[in-house]
Amino acid sequence: MELLTLSSLKNAAQNQPAAARVHAQVVGVNEKVTRDGKPYRELAVADAQGRLSLRAWNDSPAFALCGTLAPGDFLEIEGEFSQHPAFGLEARQWTARPLEPGEVETLLGGPDALREKQERDFGAIASLVGSIADPRLRGVSQRLLDELGERYRRAAAARTYHHARRGGLVEHVSAMMRCADKIAEVYPGLNRDLLLAGAFFHDVGKLWENCPEPRGFGIPYDVKGELVGHIAIGIEILNHLWRRMMAGPEAAEWPADLQPPGETVRMHLMHLIASHHGEYAFGSPVVPKTPEAYVLHIVDNLDAKLEMMNGAYANGNPLTDEITERVRPLPGNLVRPLPRFTPASE
């Protein structure tokens, strides 16, 4: 039986049942009751790219199995998977076994293509940080890379809607920084250094709000993330790193009359973190009030929306060959994009 990732399984079972195996980590086991009062267990599992919920009814062998599982367990799940109109992807007569140590390491590494992409994306982030001319913005960004780089590499950009996977923040931020770099070429009046640092720092609070464990795919809830939120956490991290940088030996080597003044630079970077959601209703304590803040908000929203659309095309419910059913929070059904023009061969 073919071994599939959760993402490829959803594609395989889109139109007809698919017999398959998947390797995944348990991220939750919940006791539930049907409307008729019958108990069942819901098993949530995840891999590097996706998440799946399986229901074990009380008359199935899987019901007792789920009672022995705990978050963090690694499993091979085998069964016939199909799309249920109400419950989504589900499995019939599924069975599971623990993964061997070698299988666990392979699973944690993720698919080759995804792992290679995230390595390229992290390399692009490091390169763009190194290209920042302002020594204050470059220095504080490099401190973030040096001190929290490993945590940054495994954080998710969101819990559900976009880049909601281990390493998703690196993918999201890399795309934003590369996009911001190109926009700064078109609009030379923008402060490129500030824009790049803002893209790098804008979601740094997700290192607590949306960060999987070192050997896991689940995104646990964090008390600080719940009480404070990633925007306030991001400002706190920036200020902590900034104060230490300014008290360190590197700052002592800078000219005393750097312009604009350091406190002004720090304040503008804080503004980009604070305003990147764009509106009070979406959680920003302040709306964008500088050109760089507007650009950062737009680039953030652009990358998030395109990721949502790509996910919908890949895993959404097709209404026709050309139309995919709406996936929230997108505003409506999606139509397949126009293919690129291909010149006629001579």
pLDDT of residue 126: 97
Query: Residue 73 domain-assigned?
Result: yes
Quote the pLDDT of residue 230: 95
CATH number at residue 65: 2.40.50.140
157 confidence band (pLDDT: 50, 70, 90): very high
Whole-number pLDDT of residue 197: 98
Residue 17 covered by a domain: yes
Instruction: Answer whether residue 15 is part of any domain.
Output: yes
Q: Mean pLDDT check: name the lowest of 8-17, 147-156, 291-300.
A: 8-17
Same domain, 128 and 89: no
Q: Which two tokens stand for residue 187?
A: 């609009």
User: Does a structural domain hold residue 214?
Assistant: yes
Between CA 90 and CA 62 the distance in angstroms is 13
Residue pLDDT, tens place only, 163-191: 888 999 999 999 999 999 999 999 999 99
> Looking at residue 131, what is its pLDDT?
98
Residue 341: its pLDDT value, please?
93
Query: Is the same domain home to 290 and 144?
Result: yes
130 and 95 within one domain: no
Asked if residue 195 and residue 180 are part of one domain, the reply reads yes
Residue 346 has pLDDT above 70, yes or no: no
Q: Are residues 142 and 94 in the same domain?
A: no
| Cβ atoms of 42 and 32 closer than 8 Å | yes
Angle between helices 262-275 and 135-154 (to 10 degrees): 30
Domain that holds residue 32: 3-105
Largest Cα separation within the chain, whole Å, is 75
Q: Which residue has the higher pLDDT, 15 or 162?
A: 162
Does the pLDDT value for residue 56 go beyond 80? yes
Distance CA 281, CA 265 (A): 27
Residue 98 has which token pair? 């623990």
Q: Is 334 helix (H, G, I), strand (E, B) or coil?
A: strand
Instruction: Extract the tokens encoding 121.
Output: 């994306």
Of 18, 21, 40, residue with least CA distance to 30: 40
> Same structural domain for residues 214 and 301?
yes
- Asked if 229 and 302 sit in the same domain, the reply is yes
C-alpha–C-alpha distance, residues 118 and 129, integer Å: 16
Q: What is the DSSP letter of 327?
A: -
What are the tens digits of pLDDT across the range 73-116? 999 999 888 877 666 677 877 888 999 999 999 998 888 899 99
236 with 154, same domain: the answer is: yes
State whether residue 10 is helix, strand or coil.
helix
Q: Are residues 87 and 67 in the same domain?
A: yes
pLDDT at 299: 98
Query: Is the residue at 344 inside a domain?
Result: no
119 located within any domain: yes
Query: pTM of the entire structure?
Result: 0.88
Question: Into how many domains does the chain fold?
Answer: 2
pLDDT at 252 over 80: yes
Q: Are residues 92 and 144 in the same domain?
A: no
List the beta strands (DSSP E) in the chain.
3-4, 18-33, 39-46, 51-57, 74-84, 88-98, 323-324, 334-335
Whether the Cβ atoms of residue 25 and residue 216 lie closer than 8 Å to each other: yes
The pLDDT score that the predictor gives to residue 81 is 85
